[in-house]
Amino acid sequence: MKNTAVILAGGSGKRMGGSLPKQFMILGGKPIIQHSIEAFENHPQTDEICIIIHADFIHEVECIVRENNFKKVRYILPGGKERSDSSLAAIRAYQEEQNINLIFHDAVRPFISSEIISNVIRELNAGKSVAVAIATVDTIFEVDEKNKIVSVPQRSFLRRAQTPQAFSYHTIKSAYEIALKDPDFLATDDCGVVLKYLPTEAIFIVEGDKSNIKITFEGDLVLGEEILNK
């Protein structure tokens, strides 16, 4: 099975202000998205890379790929309005060659390690659907629409989701085909789609790392520089 990394950067990502999405903010002297691309470009078990980016910024990604001579990048595709549109863009791009695994990764998680990628691919090769996550150290409250606590889930059964999330092509395509027939379909991540629409498909956890952070706010850039300087 060919292993394809899908770098998800389709959102406008303007929470930090400025004219460029957050995936183009500079971290350690290079754009955040470049760190993520490099992680998969340099991994020996990654066969190719598909980048999903807002249509307004395709040129910027093309420049990064060209200037860094990234050989594994096959597609640079426009994302859509919703998070699920980005995943669907990748799924549709590979509909003619379905003997592949798709490894979905947030472009703004620049510190994904080679070890985590290897562990994800190992589980994929064993026929499993997988998601990267870490244990939560905080107590989590479930609340209702009035912000009233309705339950306190046991921490030992809770995990903080990271990425990648990875599936065989057949699994993720089948889940989305069913989901698109649901008039109320709204996805926040691919695991949620598989869990809801292919309930018999088990998704197993691959241990993540606390450094595999998502750069969302300005303070995350400061933390990112600290991680780089360790």
pLDDT tens digits for range 23-43: 999 999 999 999 999 999 999
Amino acid making up residue 34: Q
Please give the structure tokens belonging to residue 201. Answer: 């498909």
Question: Contact 46/55 with Cβ under 8 angstroms?
Answer: no
Question: Contact 6/102 with Cβ under 8 angstroms?
Answer: yes
Amino acid making up residue 191: C
pLDDT at 216: 87
2-229 CATH choice from 3.90.550.10, 3.30.70.2190, 2.30.38.10, 3.60.9.10: 3.90.550.10
Whether the per-residue pLDDT at 152 is higher than 60: the answer is: yes
Judge if pTM exceeds 0.85: yes
Would you list the DSSP string of the chain?
-EEEEEEEE-S---TT-SSS-GGGSEETTEEHHHHHHHHHHT-TT--EEEEEE-GGGHHHHHHHHHHTT-SSEEEEEE--SSHHHHHHHHHHHTTT--SEEEEEEETT-TT--HHHHHHHHHHHHTT-EEEEEEE--S---EE-TTS-EEE---GGG-EEEEEEEEEEHHHHHHHHHHHTT-TT---SSHHHHHHHH-TTS-EEEEE--TT-----SHHHHHHHHHHHT-
Residue 105 phi/psi, 5-degree rounding, is -135, 135
Whether the per-residue pLDDT at 190 is higher than 90: the answer is: yes
Residue 207 phi/psi, 5-degree rounding, is -65, 130
Residue 49 phi/psi, 5-degree rounding, is -130, 140
Peptide bond into 199 cis (omega under 30): no
15-19, 199-203, 220-224, range with greatest mean pLDDT = 199-203
pLDDT at 15: 45
Q: 82: pLDDT confidence band, cut at 50, 70 and 90?
A: confident
Whether the per-residue pLDDT at 12 is higher than 50: the answer is: yes
Mean pLDDT of the 3-11 span: 91
- % of residues, the chain, pLDDT over 90: 82
Measured from the Cβ of residue 217, the count of other Cβ atoms closer than 10 Å reads 12
Whether the per-residue pLDDT at 84 is higher than 50: the answer is: yes
pLDDT at 228: 85
Whether the per-residue pLDDT at 17 is higher than 60: the answer is: no
Please give the structure tokens belonging to residue 49. Answer: 């890379």
In the beta sheet, which residues pair with residue 133? Answer: 161, 207
Q: 217: pLDDT confidence band, cut at 50, 70 and 90?
A: confident
pLDDT of 34-78, one tens digit each?
999 999 999 999 999 999 999 999 999 999 999 999 999 999 999
The sign one gets for the Cα dihedral 197, 11, 43, 45 is positive
